[in-house]
Amino acid sequence: MVIDGPLQLPEVLALGLNQLGPTWRQHEHAHGHHEIHYVRRGSGNLICDGRAFPIREGSIYFFRPGESHGGGTDPSDPLQILYLSVRLPEPLPMGFDALRSDRPIFLDEPGVAELRAELSGLADGMAVLGGGRDEMRRFAGSQCPPELLAKMLRVLGALLEPVRRLAARSGTARERELAERVLRELDLCRGAPPALRVLARKLGVTPSHLGAALRQASGRTYPEAAAAIRVRNAQELLADERIPVREAARLVGLSSPRALARLFRRVTGKAPAAFRTK
């Protein structure tokens, strides 16, 4: 999906690596910010809004502000958890909630492998700072040691990266298949997106059927999906100061900077100039 503005990283409020004892349990509670947790090792359970989910090594879970959560560890396999408390840039990137639906846990979902790898590297770095001791390490965001900053930035970049792409996450298997093929065609397109009827003919279905499948699977109509991807492509061009706005408009299939500005206002609420690298 399109990030609403130049890539803005979240503000890290706290970073910690907790080694939890075999009797650890935490009552449900909530925060006024987002949290992302990564299970470095161990197993147990997560309670989120009154529902229980099993967690294990490699689990990633994510909480919105005000969302209650708690949990407990397996006494025979105590948890070690990396957590980040973050304040996300406002307004939130379009479609950020697509990172999770009704489940707070990521295991094998598409796009999670990169985030897991970066979280694992950050957790390893925290463990090294702890000298290998099984104890809690915690830093306020502004106190993050220099040797962890690069790892932190990669985690935050990976956290936001999935929202740069549209995805088919609901509907029937056939609807998701059709939607994914449409989104793949749009993702490969660098100029004006093809008409829906052209893609429908290519896929052997009617335009109305294809449009309905895309809407059911991705939550977007075809014009909305095409506009979002066209804006994303323009953002990438505008990040290069050497490319004039007029040329960026031409390369994404628009007739003028004014047309590009209208599109940006409609999709992001901002002018193209706001997406220039500072």
Strands of the sheet containing 34-41, edge to edge, are 105-106, 60-63, 34-41, 80-87, 11-19, 137-140
SS3 253: coil
Query: What Rg do the C-alpha atoms of the chain give, in angstroms?
Result: 21
Specify the range with the lowest mean pLDDT, choosing from 6-15, 70-79, 198-207.
6-15
How is residue 225 written in tokens?
Answer: 């999906």
pLDDT of 208 strictly over 90: yes
CA distance 165 to 3: 9
Question: Domains (ranges, CATH) in the chain?
Answer: 11-164 (2.60.120.10), 173-275 (1.10.10.60)
Q: What is the pLDDT of residue 277?
A: 53
Q: Is the dihedral of CA 194, 196, 202, 203 positive or negative?
A: positive
| For residues 28-47, average pLDDT | 91
- 172 to 203, 205, 216: CA distances (angstroms): 17, 16, 9
Give the pLDDT of residue 112. 64
Please state, in angstroms and rounded to a whole number, the distance separating the CA atoms of residues 52 and 104: 10
- Determine the pLDDT at residue 41: 93
pLDDT per residue as tens digits for the range 213-272: 998 888 789 998 898 888 888 887 887 778 899 999 999 999 999 999 999 888 877 788
Q: Is residue 108 scored above 50 in pLDDT?
A: no
State the residue for tokens 């996300």: 88
Averaged pLDDT for residues 30-44: 91
Q: Following CA atoms 16, 58, 60, 112 in sequence, which dihedral angle do they give, to the nearest 10 degrees?
A: 120
Query: Per-residue confidence at 133, pLDDT binned at 50, 70, 90?
Result: low
Between these two residues, 278 and 167, which has the higher pLDDT value?
167
Whole-structure pTM value = 0.56
